[in-house]
């Protein structure tokens, strides 16, 4: 035997002839030429083993030794060949025939049907809804439901975004009807091109959606009409939170608008989030995302059909959709009615004792000692209160709201607190 120039022993080759399986011979490298590498898998060797066994020229033991397998393995493949033919030589799945933790067919059908009915609900929310609808059934974990929906093609992988850290609520409410959230869902156009501006109001604590109404205009009178209808149905809350856009706020003193002045007469404290901080009203903004998914993706053909979609969503959101932050309950199960009813007559503003009342002119000016000082056109024909803090220096109130400061000597009104001139002069002399 001639040693290989690389120091290795010559390779041993198994011939392709069925009768020569197991025979070995020294390879003649000079005869290989440009022959490519050949790959042999287990299935090819099993077929050669069966072919050689059918020739009946060698025993099973010799054939197994030639392939380097045990006789037990050889008899196993012979048994499969006799039972299934050549197809029996293919590897079969090693998964168990029965999995006691698998989802039953009836439960899987109910899960798939629920997902089709509510296509935007996740696995946890679907599980809570199924537990409430069919309490006698033991439902699988939310992770198993999610895997089932993925296999059925009902869940698509979403792109992950870097999320901003959550912020604590600025106006924490502990009981329902203590704080309402109001805002406009971003406008969109219906199928016929009509513009839709949904105005929404919800409860901070219970998440109950009081109204979702497409208004004709986004001005104070139209929004006030929708809000008044909600007050008459659900009661008047102590406070309302909104953003700083119209008709909720303006550049007038105290950010007053006709809408916010109407709220003050009702005894409703109007809170506003900080500019550019929508996360302070995050619960309401998150509801808007669900509202868009369920009713405006795509929009309805016209405003009438779009409003019908809003009404269906409001009923589903309040009575059917379980909320994880509420322990799996719906907003309607958590919410309680308000004890403050909408008054039959709009009450007058109340001022503390010692406040001097002054009526603002039609042009929005305050008359003081035969001179007029402009405050704001929003305050036209309204009554303000002047509370003297120093000599001829007053705080100006509209009801309970401090809207600015008035210097009676110089007849100057300032929305922000100024430093009196006499105080500056006194400090300069010292």
* pLDDT over threshold 60, residue 370: yes
Q: How far apart are CA 359 and CA 387, in angstroms?
A: 14
Please choose, from the candidates 207, 215, 180, the residue with its C-alpha nearest in 3D space to the C-alpha of residue 334: 207
Give the residue carrying structure tokens 């008709």: 247
State the pLDDT at residue 274. Answer: 87
pLDDT digits (tens, 9 = 90+) for 132-182: 898 888 899 998 999 889 888 888 777 766 555 554 555 677 899 999 999
pLDDT digits (tens, 9 = 90+) for 201-213: 999 999 999 999 9
Name every residue whose Cβ is closer than 8 Å to that of residue 359 and which is 6 or more positions away in sequence. Answer: 381, 382, 383
Exposure on the CB side of residue 318, measured as CA atoms within 13 A: 17
Q: Which has the higher per-residue pLDDT, 376 or 3? A: 376
Please choose, from the candidates 73, 74, 48, 47, the residue with its C-alpha nearest in 3D space to the C-alpha of residue 60: 74
* pLDDT over threshold 80, residue 30: no
Q: How far apart are CA 52 and CA 60, in angstroms?
A: 9
pLDDT digits (tens, 9 = 90+) for 79-129: 888 888 888 888 888 877 777 778 888 889 999 999 999 888 889 999 999
pLDDT digits (tens, 9 = 90+) for 390-404: 888 899 999 999 999
- For residue 102, the 8-state DSSP code is S
Q: How far apart are CA 304 and CA 52, in angstroms?
A: 80
State the pLDDT at residue 176. Answer: 92
* pLDDT over threshold 80, residue 10: no
3-state helix, strand, coil in the chain (%, to 5): 35, 15, 45
Work out the number of other CB atoms within 10 angstroms of the CB of residue 45.
Answer: 18
State the pLDDT at residue 37. Answer: 56
Domain boundaries, the chain: 18-89, 105-151, 180-334, 356-429
Architecture of domain 180-334: 2-Layer Sandwich (3.30)
Confidence bin at 421 (pLDDT 50/70/90): low
Work out the number of other CB atoms within 10 angstroms of the CB of residue 378.
Answer: 21
């Amino acid at each position: 035997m001639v040693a290989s120039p690389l120091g290795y022993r010559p390779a041993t080759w198994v011939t392709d002839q069925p009768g020569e399986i197991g025979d070995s011979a020294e390879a003649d490298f000079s005869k290989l030429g440009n022959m490519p590498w050949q790959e042999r898998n287990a299935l090819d060797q099993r077929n050669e083993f069966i072919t050689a066994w059918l020739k009946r020229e060698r025993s099973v033991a010799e054939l197994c030794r030639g392939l380097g397998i045990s006789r037990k393995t050889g008899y196993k493949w012979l048994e499969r060949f006799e039972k299934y033919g050549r197809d029996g030589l293919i590897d079969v799945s090693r998964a168990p025939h029965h999995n006691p933790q698998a989802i039953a067919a009836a439960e899987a059908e109910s899960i798939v049907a629920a997902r089709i009915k509510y296509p935007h609900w996740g696995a946890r929310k679907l599980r809570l809804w199924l537990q409430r609808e069919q309490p006698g059934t033991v439902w699988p974990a939310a992770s198993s439901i999610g895997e089932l929906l993925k296999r059925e093609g009902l869940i698509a992988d979403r792109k992950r975004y870097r999320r901003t850290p959550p912020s604590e609520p600025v106006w924490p409410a502990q009981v329902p009807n203590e704080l309402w959230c109001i805002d406009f869902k971003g406008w969109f156009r219906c199928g016929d091109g009509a513009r839709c501006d949904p105005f929404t109001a919800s409860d901070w604590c219970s998440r109950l959606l009081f109204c979702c109404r497409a208004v004709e205009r986004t001005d104070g009178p139209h929004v006030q009409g929708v809000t008044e209808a909600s007050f008459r149905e659900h009661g008047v809350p102590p406070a309302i939170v909104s953003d700083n856009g119209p008709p909720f706020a303006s550049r007038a003193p105290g950010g007053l608008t006709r809408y916010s002045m109407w709220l003050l007469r009702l005894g409703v404290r109007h809170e506003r989030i900080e500019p550019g901080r929508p996360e302070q009203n995050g619960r309401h903004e998150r509801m808007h995302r669900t509202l868009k998914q369920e009713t405006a993706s795509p929009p309805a053909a016209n405003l009438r059909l779009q409003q019908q979609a809003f009404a269906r969503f409001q009923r589903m959101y309040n009575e059917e959709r379980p909320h994880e932050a509420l322990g799996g309950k719906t907003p309607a199960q958590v919410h309680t009615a308000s004890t403050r009813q909408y008054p039959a007559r709009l009450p007058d503003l109340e001022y503390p004792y010692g406040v001097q009342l002054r009526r603002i002119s039609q042009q929005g000016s305050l008359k003081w000692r035969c001179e007029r000082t402009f405050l704001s056109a929003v305050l036209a024909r309204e009554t303000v209160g002047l509370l003297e803090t120093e000599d001829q220096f007053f705080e100006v109130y509209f009801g309970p709201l401090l809207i600015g400061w008035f210097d009676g000597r110089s007849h100057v009104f300032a929305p922000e607190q100024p430093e009196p001139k006499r105080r500056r002069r006194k400090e300069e002399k010292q």
